[in-house]
Amino acid sequence: MIKANSKSELLSILSSEDITVPPRHKGRTTNHTEKYCLFKMLATLAQHKLLKYPIEIVNRERPDFVFKACGQSIGIEQTEAVPENLAKQDFLRGKMGKNEVHFISKHHPKEAKKTTKQLKHEINNTVPSGGWVGDSVEVNWSEAMVYFIEKKEINGLKAGYASFDENSLLIYDNWPTAALDVDIGAKYLAKRLNEHTSKYNFDKIYILSHGYLLVFKGSSFEKYTVNELWQSS
């Protein structure tokens, strides 16, 4: 997919690509979101000198990508953190021409799936869902991230999922929140991950969230400002 011998070459390759993600009702696909998230991750890691060269990025399945550099292979699985109900509602909202300003709805990662009729009713009768109090935004966000991490951990246990020298997860954060304090949310998530036990664990978890690339390893995390090579994206 991509081969580069240096930081400047990699950034040049990345910046020449279109990473536009169309609206859900206008043909958005998993490929669109995977490319957007992967390229922003690569641009940010390169900018902060966190990659080794020469590097090759290979597109595959289970996991979605592999980074090959200096004799090491890193598997990258990707997922989008978004409520299923919200994703479908966004699609319907676009089809209905109801993309005007509306209230942010609260969601829980394990909420029941709503019917199309219910979602359309909510679109036509948008009302506030109640305010967030104290650190409830950060608590809700960290719960959601754990939910999507655990889903991918389960997939990693299935037959046919390859393992590499390092195995990582990249999350495209589209979870709806009101004024998330990224630092507080990340601290809560790091604590949850430190307490989390599973048969399958990712060596690192990357989250593209609110203009930052969050990198979790063990009980610690780092926060990097996203390298916006694509100012219009």
Residue 199 confidence (pLDDT) above 80: no
Quote the CA–CA distance of 102 and 99 in Å, as a whole number: 8
Q: Which of 8-12, 89-93, 131-135 has the weakest average pLDDT?
A: 131-135
Residue whose C-alpha is closest to residue 177's, from 211, 222, 216, 210 = 210
Examine residue 221 and state whether it is found in any structural domain, yes or no.
yes
114 domain residue, yes or no: no
17 in a domain, yes or no? yes
**Residue 22 in domain:** yes
Residue 215 lies in a domain: yes
Choose between 193 and 46: higher pLDDT. Answer: 46
Task: Kindly tell me if the per-residue pLDDT of 129 is higher than 80.
Answer: no
Strands 212-217 and 204-209: antiparallel
- pLDDT higher than 90, residue 158: no
Query: Which range (21-30, 93-102, 162-171) has the least confidence?
Result: 93-102
Asked whether residue 118 is domain-assigned, the answer is no
Q: What is the mean pLDDT of residues 127-149?
A: 89
Please indicate, yes or no, if residue 219 is contained in any of the structural domains.
yes
113, pLDDT greater than 90: yes
**Helices (H) then strands (E): counts for the chain:** 6, 8
pLDDT at 8 over 60: yes
Give residue 1's pLDDT: 81
Q: What domain range is 198 assigned to?
A: 2-81+142-225
Domains in the chain, number: 1
Quick check: is 7 in a domain? yes
Three-state DSSP at 57 gives: strand
- What confidence tens digit (pLDDT) does each residue in 39-97 have? 999 999 999 999 999 999 999 999 999 999 999 999 999 999 999 999 999 999 999 98
